[in-house]
Structure 1
């Protein structure tokens, strides 16, 4: 019969040969090695669970980002339609409120949709593992400012 090494992490003890009378073979040289192996296995299991949860959260964040970008596109089409006098033939299609702020109000909805899409993009990047310094650099602001603006509360 072959002798086995202890399964404890970083343990090199050679276990005694199994008894001739049978019984369950020893896997660890001591209770300490058994506990250390179980703690290590639990940490590995938690890590695998966290990776799976992170992958799901990343997919959800990307879905929210895609939805926000589609909303920006729809708002841009609506804004272009409202500002074009040839496509807005009926008075109800045009923006109300006089000519002074008509363009500003039309673009304001587009800006709000773009801010929502930007927040969704930052959330997707954070969920994927990007740091505040990388996000701040992409936005042209400091990492502290990026964290203050976009960190969930």
Structure 2
């Protein structure tokens, strides 16, 4: 910034104040004032946006990790139940005993709903990190409109 009697943008001397009073001028003209504020905004605004993106990405990544851990524990519980059934006597396994025949499907449903929640968290995390819908749908194999409609927050 220049001396108090020069324009902070271009450095030219400021016009003398009018004898009738008023505030002293800070810039030599409106164009210099506009250019100075524009250059200042371009300098600091992207840093603020980058900081906000990093904060959002960090928060979304934490949520994605929690979803993935829940998915893993649900899958581990299903695998443990299936392993216990494999070790049981054949007459005690599903198909030999009375009860619901679609027990495997019923056991896998929580896994499917948790996988969908994990996928939604992954899409949200990618969007927070700056990925476009076109980059995301290249992985999902759907249209950008469909993905945006399903996963937009």
TM superposition score normalised by structure 2: 0.71
Greater relative CO, 1 or 2 (CA 8 Å, sep 6+):
2
Larger helix share, 1 or 2: 2
What are structure 1's unaligned runs of at least 5 residues? 17-26
Alpha-carbon offset, residue 7 of structure 1: 5.0
Correspondence 1:48-127 to 2 at 5 A: 48-84=47-83, 85-86=85-86, 98-127=99-128
Single out whichever of 44-53 and 115-124 deviates more from structure 2: 44-53
Find the aligned partners of 1:87 and 1:49 in 2 and give their Cα distance.
Answer: 58
- For the aligned residue pairs, the C-alpha RMSD in angstroms reads 2.9
Which residue does 1:131 correspond to in 2?
A: 132
TM superposition score normalised by structure 1: 0.71
Alpha-carbon offset, residue 117 of structure 1: 0.6
Instruction: Say if 1:83 and 1:106, in contact at 8 Å, map to a contact too.
Output: no
Find the aligned partners of 2:57 and 2:75 in 1 and give their Cα distance.
Answer: 27
Find the aligned partners of 1:88 and 1:7 in 2 and give their Cα distance.
Answer: 83
Aligned residues: 130
Which residue does 2:38 correspond to in 1?
A: 39
Alpha-carbon offset, residue 144 of structure 1: 1.3
What are structure 2's unaligned runs of at least 5 residues? 1-5, 14-25
Find the aligned partners of 2:30 and 2:88 in 1 and give their Cα distance.
Answer: 80
Single out whichever of 75-84 and 32-41 deviates more from structure 2: 32-41
Find the aligned partners of 1:72 and 1:87 in 2 and give their Cα distance.
Answer: 24
Alpha-carbon offset, residue 47 of structure 1: 2.3
Alpha-carbon offset, residue 100 of structure 1: 0.8
Alpha-carbon offset, residue 64 of structure 1: 0.9
